[in-house]
Amino acid sequence: MSIEFDEESVPDYGALLRLDGRIVAVIGAGRGIGRQTCHALAQAGANVACIDIDIHVAQKVADEVGGCALSADVRQEAEVEAVFDAVIEHLGRLDAVVDIVGASHGRPLPEIDAPFLERTFELNLFQAIHVTRVAADRMARTGGGAIVLVGSSAGFASLPNQIAYGSAKAALHHFVRGAASELGHRGIRVNAIAPGYVRTERMLARFAPEQWYEVETNTPMQRAGATPDIAGVALFLVQDLSSYLSGQVILADGGMLNPPRVMRTSSARQIAGMLCND
């Protein structure tokens, strides 16, 4: 039996990497992963709206990438609506959103009270729901787009003093899958990145050199993450190269949790609960 030659058309894969003419909003753009993501998107040709609660750092990054600076507290749904409307007013449309907002504040279970729970879930889950709902509505008007949220490896593993934060991020991971199912027919993809230990400004302030040594020793790749590592995943999830990915949570932790393994040093579990996004 003869086998016919494969004559399926071949796309321009290089073009799928480009974002020329796309309008992408980055929330939490002012530092760390957010700043690196703005640079990654701009280098791929996107016009970037740099959004941060602090307009001064948003403006600094916008100046670096030739973007537009806007300020919003995305914990407030009304401000989410206002800032996305401002993006459309200034730049004409909205094609993608990368939401970097989130942070961990560790407490053991007996010390968790209602205000702490509210703050933790507001920052790490509720704001992402507001962002997704509002952005999806705006993007659907012009044919769809991509939404990228930031979860955490704490949403996969039980870490010391991180039961509230880990629960919020696990809920965010579930939300990503549900939102992808609901929004796919409107042309909108929803994915997330779950970073492990990343050398952000905040994490560098929290960890001593010996703690970073523990992280590196217990990571198969033998190094902690860098902010460009996470920005690169965000870029990929916005690009058309990932056009058939939706509802995915990509664990970017250097292999620490894949597969689950016993940490090899005595103090590793003590520092395992200190995770944050930016």
The answer to whether the peptide bond before residue 195 is cis (omega within 30 degrees of 0) is no
Does 10 fall in a domain? no
Does 61 fall in a domain? yes
Q: Give the pair of three-digit tokens for residue 121.
A: 């879930």
Does 35 fall in a domain? yes
Does 2 fall in a domain? no
Express each pLDDT in 2-24 by its tens digit: 677 788 899 999 999 999 999 99
Per-residue pLDDT of the chain (278 residues; tens, 9 = 90+): 667 778 889 999 999 999 999 999 999 999 999 999 999 999 999 999 999 999 999 999 999 999 999 999 999 999 999 999 999 999 999 999 999 999 888 899 999 999 999 999 999 999 999 999 999 999 999 999 999 999 999 999 888 888 999 999 999 999 999 999 999 999 999 999 999 888 888 888 888 888 888 888 888 888 888 999 999 999 999 999 999 999 999 999 998 887 655 555 545 545 555 555 55
From the candidates 13, 165, 213, 244, give the one annotated as an active-site residue. Answer: 165
Does 13 fall in a domain? no
Does 7 fall in a domain? no
| Domains of the chain: total | 1
Does 180 fall in a domain? yes
Amino acid identity of residue 82, one-letter, is A
Q: Which domain holds residue 126?
A: 19-271
Beta strands 23-27 and 96-99, pairing class: parallel
Q: Could you give the CA distance from residue 180 to residue 187 in angstroms, rounded to a whole number?
A: 10
Q: Is 165 designated active site? A: yes
Instruction: State whether the Cα torsion 72-77-78-82 is positive or negative.
Output: positive
Whichever domain contains 129, its CATH number is 3.40.50.720
Does 25 fall in a domain? yes
